[in-house]
Amino acid sequence: MEDMESTPRPEPGEGVAPGGVSRRSVLKTFGAGALAVGAGRVVRPELTARRTIGHLERGQAAGGNVVKIGYVTPETGALADFSQSDIFVLDKVRSTAPYAKGMKIGGKTYRLEVTVVDSQSDPNRAAQVAQQLVLQDKVDVVVTSSAPETTNPVASTCEQLHVPNLATVVPWESWYAGLGGDPVSPTKNFPYSSVFFFGLKEFGGTFLPMWNRIEARTHAAKIYAAMFPNDADGNAFRAAWPPYPAAFGYKEVDGGAYTDGTTNYSSMIEKFKSAGCEFFVNAPLPPDFNTFWKQAVQEGFKPKLATVAKVLLFPSDVVALGSLVNNIATDAWWTPYSPYKSSLTGETAKQFAIDYETKTGREWVQSMGSAYSLFEVVAAALQNVSDPHDKAEVAHAIHTLHYEGMCGPIDFAKGPAAGVGIIYPVGIQWKPGKTTFGRKFPWEPFVVDNSLNKSVPINGDLEPTNP
């Protein structure tokens, strides 16, 4: 299989950032909400807005010492798909030794207590509950996940209040810009804030090897359709994505900055067909892609390979498309096929997924790995401090941490910006399900490209979306 050791980029010129992306365009488009990597639609009203886990009786830990951790997550609202594994993950976390029995920090034993709050998928709400966690609950650390709408206001609030915070499942450029940094020249340090995920370079490093392999096999024209809406995510992709495929000779056909919620894509589809587009990339809302893709099939637009961002990350999105989802590709930042294991218990990624499917009856989701790693990172960082209530010391410990856990090795000290740890995704395609972990689901993601992460084995064949 063809590999891409690194994604070649155009040479920088005047006013152009390394990677061929205009500095002005990056700063303009990488704002709050830019490059959200997914959006869900599950609402679970049975979840409470606030709950605390960590159930040691007072006095079990020496002196009753407690380290308070706040977790801001979109349990309800448009991003709720991201949090669908939270109850399972938090049950797992609180059963581990540091959270169930306490841990030694600076010669004393502390129990770790987690308070969970619902952002309701609303940026204003996310900022509000983060402030409440700090000022009312007096937490020592705040962790958060799932798209800029959640992570960015939490990070900004905690940075202003000088409280250590950690985010995941948000492209690092969007998170960094949301704090006021320049992703093109990321020299500014935000001492209380850290994140682990990936960015545009990794999107390119995941999608383009798949394009190149399909092009070599089918001799498809190097012309791709871009479905980017007129919103923060779509505009960010429109500005920052083109240099990556252009480096391989691909020509873009932009379908136009359509409005979220559009129901008729006939003119866009005709534009793609007339231009002879053989590849497809997008960053839409999930319902919009569902509508678009059904119309595309009906109207005869059949690209050789569709690689999608922000959609088809979770089984719930896939089921809505049915058989039309076959061999559509996307990125995966965590899978049960990886060789990684919990730094807290030694449980493997595969065992983690099997336990989830057994206990919930639902198919594994990639967000469960990143959510679990939030609490691994906090526990690992606390081992390196003398006082867990010294917020500057804890923040520095996260900023400089290098550890390996459920999401693999993460080095916060060597990322593209201070406090940024990169995890490397793989390319997956949705195919008819097999009895992989003892249960069979209608559709299952198979790893078809590991150009960026050779440690994750390939277990499926990369096939054209449309023969």
CATH at 431: 3.40.50.2300
CA neighbor of 40 nearest in space, from 78, 72, 84? 78
Residue 122 lies in a domain: yes
What global pTM score does this model have?
0.86
Q: What is the mean pLDDT of residues 242-264?
A: 96
Check pLDDT > 90 for residue 81. no
Residue 42 lies in a domain: no
Q: Which residues contact 91 (CB under 8 A, 6 or more apart)?
A: 53
Q: Which single residue is written with the structure tokens 């919620």?
A: 261
- Torsion angle of alpha carbons 129, 130, 132, 135, nearest 10°? -170
Are 130 and 179 part of one and the same domain? yes
CA neighbor of 399 nearest in space, from 107, 126, 195? 195
Are 187 and 268 part of one and the same domain? no
Tell me the two tokens of residue 67.
């380290």
Check pLDDT > 80 for residue 332. yes
Q: What percent of the chain has pLDDT over 90?
A: 75
Check pLDDT > 80 for residue 418. yes
Residue 466 lies in a domain: no
Q: What is the mean pLDDT of residues 392-405?
A: 98
pLDDT of residue 464: 98
Are 192 and 209 part of one and the same domain? no
Inter-residue contact 331 to 300 (CB < 8 Å)? no
**Which residues partner with 72 through β-bridges?**
117, 144
Are 83 and 217 part of one and the same domain? no
Are 69 and 141 part of one and the same domain? yes
d(CA 98, CA 53): 13
Are 191 and 96 part of one and the same domain? yes
- What is the phi/psi pair of residue 244, to 5°? -70, -55
- Give the CA diameter of the chain: 73
Residue 277 lies in a domain: yes
Are 86 and 114 part of one and the same domain? yes
Are 80 and 192 part of one and the same domain? yes
Q: What is the number of structural domains in the chain?
A: 2
- Using a 10 angstrom Cβ sphere, with 0-12 exposed, 13-18 middle and 19 or more buried, the burial of residue 116 is buried
Are 159 and 271 part of one and the same domain? no
Inter-residue contact 421 to 409 (CB < 8 Å)? no
What digits encode the pLDDT tens for the residues 48-67?
345 554 433 333 333 349 99
Are 354 and 400 part of one and the same domain? yes
Are 219 and 368 part of one and the same domain? no
Residue 43 lies in a domain: no
Residue 11 lies in a domain: no
Q: How confident is the model at residue 159 (pLDDT cuts 50, 70, 90)?
A: very high
Residue 68 lies in a domain: yes
Please state the separation of Cα 428 from the chain's center in Å.
14
Are 100 and 246 part of one and the same domain? no
The mean pLDDT value of the chain amounts to: 87
Q: How confident is the model at residue 24 (pLDDT cuts 50, 70, 90)?
A: very low
Residue 159 lies in a domain: yes
Q: Cα–Cα distances in Å, from 328 out to 282, 340, 347?
A: 12, 26, 31
Q: Which residue has the higher pLDDT, 237 or 312?
A: 312
Containing domain of residue 69, as a range? 50-198+338-422
d(CA 42, CA 76): 7
